[in-house]
Amino acid sequence: MPELRGVRGFVLDMDGTLVLGDRNNKGLALLPGALEFLTTLRELNLPFCVFTNGTVKTPAQCADALRQAGLPVPSDGVLTPASSAVEVFRRRGHRRVMVLGVKGITEVLEQAGIEALPPLRGTTCDAVFAGWYRQELTIEALEAAIEAVSAGAAYYSASQSPYFATSEGRTLGSSRAISAVVRDVTRTRVTVVGKPSVQALRTASRHLGVPVPELAVVGDDPELEVPMAHKGGAFAVAVHTGIGHAESFAHLPEHLRPHLDLPDVGALAALLRAG
């Protein structure tokens, strides 16, 4: 396709597109065509990054896990909602952020000079940020978040996707569940900093040094990667190895469907080599 020939960089989903692990991102197994695809991108000198909505691990830890699974991902080749959150918080002057999340968020914020605070009542903060927070979540933590938002703190979510793909089947995304409670009680606005926000796509664009219209976004979730690509004007590629399937976009008008709808990333590698 002429549009595919114009792509100069790739933004790739992780779970359900390249690999499948358990709900804690452990035991990663390669999905069909993943190694062939990344090898093809390297051979064609096409830059890529992985953008996952997972916040259990830091970006560097995700990159290391992908390398251990056998994929040629550089140490700085992964972005998460914490990556895009840093850009947003700096731009908006948020210096103290209450985090309902684990080290995958807190370490990234602290490294960027943003104070990451635990969800304790009476805490003064500029913003509240919810991510992966399952075993740690308590009513007291929810109360702290609600109190902070009611006092004027802005509210951010890593993702509003209800599920993500794992080897155990689809698994509930905790940030959406947390956000539902906070929004219901406070009526606050929920700002998403992960996929499918344009902010996430712009963060990837700056990381790669490739303009958004020259990027291809590749993923398995019909509610994430394809809508994000369309919002930003990028090239949208859907694969069927995770949440989505061959009929996922059949009900949508043509302009909202993926530019390419493929069984797996191996099929995309074959198109690139033939191009």
* CB 154 within 8 Å of CB 92: yes
* CB 123 within 8 Å of CB 117: yes
* CB 76 within 8 Å of CB 62: no
Tens-digit pLDDT profile for residues 189-203: 999 999 999 999 999
Please give the helix or strand (H or E) that residue 255 lies within, else none.
none
| Residues 6+ positions from 262 with CB-CB distance below 8 Å | 237, 238, 239, 240, 268
Question: Which domains are assigned to the chain?
Answer: 2-80+195-274 (3.40.50.1000), 81-192 (3.40.50.1000)
End-to-end CA distance of the chain: 8
DSSP per-residue string spanning 217-246: EEES-TTTHHHHHHHHT-EEEEESSSS--T
Please give the helix or strand (H or E) that residue 140 lies within, else none.
helix 139-150
Please give the helix or strand (H or E) that residue 151 lies within, else none.
none
Tens-digit pLDDT profile for residues 65-96: 999 999 999 999 999 999 999 999 999 999 99
Report the C-alpha dihedral over residues 170, 173, 174, 178, rounded to 10 degrees: -130
Q: Quick one: what percent of the chain has pLDDT higher than 90? A: 89
Chain centre to alpha carbon of residue 176: 13
Please give the helix or strand (H or E) that residue 157 lies within, else none.
strand 154-157
Tens-digit pLDDT profile for residues 116-128: 999 999 999 999 9
